[in-house]
Structures are given as C-alpha cells and as structure tokens.
C-alpha cells in the first residue's frame, strides 16, 4: 500500500487484463460460495470498499501525526 510520498500513480484507464482478472476472481468467489455472479460481485466490491476505507484511515492518521509534530515544534518556539 502506498503512503504519503510513496503512492504509485493510479491508472488513467482500466486495461483489459485487469478487468478479465477481476471477472475471473468474482466468478471463482461465486462458485466457491455457491452464490450468483452478481452477489459475488457485490461481496467483492464491499471488501474493496472496506480496504479503501482502511487505507484512507491509515493515511489520515499519517497526516494527523505530521500536523501534531508541526504543532509541537511551533509550541516549542514560543
């Protein structure tokens, strides 16, 4: 996972191989759980959203640490 100053650029567009890979993964999930492709896709998207929220929480915590360090340094100057 990329963090501040280490985040890799996002793709401007989805390439076909990524789409095919995700489709195959969703299909496999559906088969393993005995659920429809649509339900497997919803599950896949829910997990991806949770992961995205976790990433943002970690990055916001990093910003919070930077701000706290700045506040502490400014307070020491007084």
User: Residues 33-48: pLDDT tens digits?
Assistant: 999 999 999 999 999 9
Percent of the chain with pLDDT over 90: 49
- What distance in Å separates the CA atoms of residue 12 and residue 41, rounded to the nearest whole number? 23
Predicted confidence (pLDDT) at residue 10 exceeds the cutoff of 80: no
- What distance in Å separates the CA atoms of residue 31 and residue 36, rounded to the nearest whole number? 8
> Counting every residue, how long is the chain?
78
Quick one: pLDDT at residue 4? 61
Q: Decide: 49 and 38 in contact? Cβ < 8 Å.
A: no
Of the candidates 24, 51, 54, 20, the one whose C-alpha atom is nearest the C-alpha of residue 40 is 24
Chain centroid offset of residue 43 CA: 15
């Amino acid at each position: 996972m990329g963090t501040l100053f280490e985040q890799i650029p996002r793709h401007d567009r989805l390439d076909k191989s990524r789409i095919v890979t995700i489709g195959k993964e969703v299909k496999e999930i559906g088969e393993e759980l005995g659920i429809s492709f649509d339900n497997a896709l919803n599950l896949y998207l829910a997990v991806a959203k949770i992961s995205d929220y976790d990433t943002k929480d970690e990055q916001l915590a990093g910003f919070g640490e930077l701000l706290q360090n700045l506040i502490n340094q400014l307070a020491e100057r007084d």
